[in-house]
Amino acid sequence: MILLLCATCLKAWFSMGVGFSLAVLAAVTMILLYEIGQILCLYYSNSQMSYVMSGYLLGFSSMISGLTISLADIGYLCISSIISVSVHELGHALAAASEGIQMEYIAVFLASLFPGALVAFNHELLLALSKVSALRIYCAGVWHNAALCAVCAWALFVEPLILSPFYIHDEGPMVLDVSPTSPLSGYLSPGDVIISLDGIRINNLQEWSQMIAILTEHYENSQNHSLPGNSMKTSVGKGYCVPYSLIEESKHISLKGNETSCPDELSPFITIQCLDQAMPDDDNLEVNHQRDGGELHCLYATDILNLEKCGDGWGRIRNNRSSCLCSKDKACFVPLLSTGVAWVEIAYSNPPLQCSQLGTMRVVDDDNSRENPCVKTFVFVGDVNSMKPSVLLTSYQPRWSAKFGAHLPYVLEKFLMFTFNVSLALALLNSLPVYFLDGEAISEVIIHYLRFLSSRRRRTILQYFLLGGTVASILIIFVQVFLVLL
């Protein structure tokens, strides 16, 4: 009785897989036609969307197609490929067992250095089955890969809840590793927690990536802020209220052609004009570059980081009539940078044991954070995009001070993401109407139901369908590889 119930449940399960696989086969066939139309210039559409669709369709993903995969990623890819292929073939085997078909052998092979496998059944027994039963077996692999994708997505969703007794989530990305060639290697080290970029609170990796993208766009759009006849530009409204007493002690330099330089460890600063702020009556203090012909001041960046901010380039908006937001005894100075160089203020925490409590690290967005001994600030001057790939971050922080286990959430998350992508690619790839894949057997069964056609015409239609799908897939792969290498 129990065996009969299990067999009934399995048939119901694999019958659901038939409906899903037929829908996917229809979808990928339409995408093939769409892509061929794009290649043959039959019509125009969003090329970026086309690239993403065909990339997933033919087994590419954003992690692989960018050619930025690391040795660690290759390990994740191999392990996730083994699991995805095993789940795929297990689906075929279970579906065949539910129909009373036993396996003859299992073959394991390597395809372009990646593992593959297949399960062989008695061909005569398969032909003796009804078309619906055979379709359950053929569609089981794609169906199980889709189920594996659902499991991975669910695991990624509940991972913060499962790990919550041991890890803090979304309280700031923690540094796991810093590349020796990273521009941040002299500032950040494993265990540090990123708190903010330019005063904007960063809670997780997604916000870190979004903020870098915003800053990149911000500085790309600021090229028109370059000084006339000079390759330097201001930091787009990111200023500091510098006391005049500090300005008097600073070193003065003047613009010479297209070059502006300061001694080592000093950065060039220039004032921004304040229409509603009175300047001090000091003839010896020339701080407005529009009045004195371009005189600059070389200041230590560490001396001004804790000063009050001014200008409209910061993330925090203050309600004040003045655009400079400085008192009368101060001037609003902004850094002077080379074209393509950004000025980003990064706050992070590398707390001692007594500062590792969650409540201590939460106060970071207000002015009191400057007095918090657990919070440190430095300025990154360079290409913003260079920060992202050179620092390995995780959205999880261990609730204990030991470094053991700090990489576990990252490894688990990476493994689930790779398995999801590989399993999805395998499901879509096997749904293609291509020779030697599951799509061939599924297409053969579907065309068999065209009873209004003769047996010969059905075979002819099947051959043209598979030949067209194979040629189209090879052509799209060629175009994708060409676009990646271009």
One digit per residue, the tens of pLDDT, for the chain of length 486 reads 666 667 778 888 999 999 999 999 999 999 888 888 877 775 444 444 444 445 555 544 444 444 456 778 888 988 999 999 999 999 999 998 888 888 777 777 666 556 667 777 777 788 788 888 999 999 999 999 999 999 999 999 999 999 999 999 988 899 998 888 787 887 888 888 999 887 788 999 999 988 888 887 777 666 544 444 444 555 556 778 888 877 776 655 544 545 556 776 677 787 776 544 444 443 333 333 333 334 577 877 777 777 887 876 665 434 444 456 677 788 888 887 776 677 888 888 875 444 544 443 333 344 444 456 678 888 887 778 778 888 899 999 888 776 678 899 999 999 999 999 999 999 999 999 999 889 999 999 999 888 888 888 999 999 999 999 999 888 888 887 777 676
CA angle 413, 154, 397 (to 5 degrees): 35
- Give me 51's structure tokens: 């690239």
pLDDT of residue 268: 79
- pLDDT at position 103 is 78
Q: Is the CB of residue 420 less than 8 Å from the CB of residue 152? A: yes
DSSP-derived secondary structure letter, 358 = G
Locus of tokens 């600063």: 269
Residue-level pLDDT at 109: 66
pTM of the model: 0.76
286 has catalytic annotation: no
Q: Which residues pair with 391 in a beta bridge?
A: 178
End-to-end CA gap in the chain: 62
How far, in Å, CA of 421 to CA of 80, rounded? 9
In which residue are the tokens 């239609």 written?
Answer: 461
pLDDT at 467: 93
Of the residues 89, 159, 413, 440, which is catalytic?
89
- Between CA 455 and CA 100 the distance in angstroms is 28
Q: What is the pLDDT of residue 316?
A: 46
User: What is residue 274's predicted lDDT score, i.e. its pLDDT?
Assistant: 56
Interacting residues of 265 by C-beta distance below 8 A, sequence separation 6+: 300
Residue 138: its pLDDT value, please? 93
